[in-house]
Structure 1
């Protein structure tokens, strides 16, 4: 077992929030690796290599959230009616600077799916319109495209097929050809949902170039950046120029789940005319002095929710700055992903999906020893989750995203600031055992 900080991990889970203020950001942070575990609330028997799915809240950020929650509850009227908007504005200013956007193009929403639903449902769909998806589009977004196709207007869906092994250059060439193949007609709109980093496989896409391709042929670009902020270095939306972009802050940025940042380019704020739910400050397009009037205000208040998660972005950014900043964090995580992936592949006698690192940020995809005869299904996914996270035959729990692609089974492993190479060793031994069990139970 890795040398996890069991006492710190166990006690901090059960002690009151006031105790957590002892983990203040003073002095130099410890070295990345297992020494970082004391800043998280993990079960000491749990090895987290699936941070990318749900994020992991640092204890100093949790302490800031608890402090803010007490402030809210001490006088909810004062906070909601007087103080909240100022804090939201500060948070928007910080995150706009972080992603290289204009502040009036940035609002806070619950999660990426919420934001993209708001955007896609704002278009007035007509027969002949087209939604462009990808074979690796996140399944909830694929479901959204189907839902819109089934609704008024019945837009068509055009899917671009993406298969590894490939390269960024091949993806760009293939996407250009795919857009060119879509029949065009007067008055038609085409909207492309593009992942910046695909969920499975966990792979960095050449999304900025795909945005430019869309611009060249009059296609709207909606960027699903769920995995980007906090993992992808040097995000500059002003330079990239997408029409829309949404990213979760509770995944890789260390904010409290769930919260996300939604970017709507100023030129498109006449499309997203209403927040969801619609706010009391909503104005009909005919009554607006300019297209984006009331855009920000609608997201500042559209019903009673807990604003602590989105406001935790401020504490998350402070924690990341204390750790050494984006270069230090992502440099360690990327290196650990590359080395850990190679080590796990060597243990299995298999391969990594991206040997060159062209597609790798902090998630690495490693083929696991499961024969292709085991067909993908919801039952198989449930079986893996049960055996990895709630085993009956061992105390150690591990997590990694298991998925099927290109006729083979893979594990998507997320490297984080607490990860060390021996975590990949432990995952390998457990996954090898689980794979044998899955084969036995599904082929018996």
Structure 2
């Protein structure tokens, strides 16, 4: 597909949108949240950018790339209602949060706050830092569904207040704005406020936020740090993420990773955040196309009708599809009230809870759903174990229709029977 004529109106959401994506016609994608899905018009723009880079790499890198990156930063800062000098572009959310968390000068007695629902790579990062010479402690809050935003807020406050304090101590909380599994909207703005009240740094893992939450206002929420993937729900090319560091904290994140040649040692700095943005304009040779794809991704979304229209369709489809899938499976949705639901539905599947989670179970689901031997259709959705039950996380997108959940139901019934037979003790 060549560049899209944005003077033409878009088709209605649903299966008519599939022509704007490169999916195999035998593939039903209900797992967009994991890796994103690149629209063909954005891919066409990326291909043009690639040709521009390759036509004269020296000209592009030495003369043009900084201005283009700055333009994308300005666009995304406006999108997030924050200052341009507080946002930079990094490879992915894990890259950004690693940069932030490894920038703290950890001391004995410091604490990293996580949850059992913290993304597994970020939980591993906390363990890695705890294994370091300063050994900051990890304090984990356990969240189990069914629950409510009000209950999470109350329990989070109690958890923070129960942490023993001492002079000079740092407490840093890693908070998911939207948890990965279950796929659930967290009351992250309220948790940021609690952190402020309790003297705790807030590091927001917003991997699923941008493009899924309809109106993110970092100026109002005012977290200490916030990172989100642009290649998931925003339709940019993978991998690309935006990293927000409040001006007051830019002295903490002293170096990009890798360290840039424009790094300034603290004694020579005019102010704590000097060179913060410049370090991310150039910290080694990368493929510059993914971060620059933010602009065509935003243009494509505007052509579709904007954030409110996209969010409404996807959330409505997640709610309707989740209920429809639960009815077909004879099970239940996790979020009965809908307060945790954005574009992802979580539905219990008919797999005995006596089958315990393991890498082998995950591999079996992936193999049977994505590389079937007895059917043509391939389906993707995230299967996981939570609170003594097995669930599937379904991502609704602008191409999704209820029929897709019917296909998933048929496949899950088949696969759950096979896995029960193979793994039941």
Q: Taking structure 2 as the reference length, what is the TM-score of the superposition?
A: 0.99
Match of 2:345 in 1: 364
- Compute the RMSD of aligned alpha carbons: 0.7
Match of 1:95 in 2: 76
Match of 2:371 in 1: 390
Match of 2:134 in 1: 153
Q: Taking structure 1 as the reference length, what is the TM-score of the superposition?
A: 0.95
Contact 1:195 1:224 (C-alpha < 8 Å) held by counterparts:
yes
Contact 2:36 2:235 (C-alpha < 8 Å) held by counterparts:
yes
Contact 2:2 2:41 (C-alpha < 8 Å) held by counterparts:
yes
1:320 and 2:301 are equivalent in the alignment? yes
Contact 1:24 1:60 (C-alpha < 8 Å) held by counterparts:
no
Match of 1:169 in 2: 150
After the TM superposition, which residues 39-438 of structure 1 pair with which residues of structure 2 at under 5 Å, given as runs?
39-438=20-419
Secondary structure of 2:82's partner?
coil
Distance in 1, Cα, partners of 2:162 & 2:337: 31
Secondary structure of 1:281's partner?
coil
Deviations 1:139-178 (Å, cap 9, x if unpaired)?
0000000000011211000001100000000000000000
Distance in 1, Cα, partners of 2:3 & 2:281: 32
Distance in 2, Cα, partners of 1:374 & 1:148: 33
Distance in 1, Cα, partners of 2:409 & 2:208: 24
Secondary structure of 1:108's partner?
strand
Distance in 2, Cα, partners of 1:388 & 1:120: 36
Match of 1:3 in 2: none
Secondary structure of 1:67's partner?
helix
Give the drift of 1:23: 4.0
Give the drift of 1:370: 0.4
Deviations 1:21-51 (Å, cap 9, x if unpaired)?
1643331000000000000000000000000
Contact 1:25 1:60 (C-alpha < 8 Å) held by counterparts:
no
Give the drift of 1:332: 0.3
Contact 2:350 2:390 (C-alpha < 8 Å) held by counterparts:
yes
Deviations 1:370-425 (Å, cap 9, x if unpaired)?
01011100100000000000111111000100000000000000000000000000
Give 1:440's match in structure 2, choosing from 408, 421, 425. Answer: 421
Deviations 1:267-306 (Å, cap 9, x if unpaired)?
0000000000000000001111011100000000000000
Contact 2:3 2:45 (C-alpha < 8 Å) held by counterparts:
no
Unaligned runs of 5+ in 2: none
Moved more, 21-30 or 172-181: 21-30
How many pairs align? 425
Secondary structure of 2:354's partner?
coil
Distance in 1, Cα, partners of 2:258 & 2:249: 19
Contact 1:23 1:39 (C-alpha < 8 Å) held by counterparts:
no
Secondary structure of 1:47's partner?
strand
Give the drift of 1:128: 0.1
Distance in 2, Cα, partners of 1:238 & 1:394: 50
Contact 2:3 2:44 (C-alpha < 8 Å) held by counterparts:
no
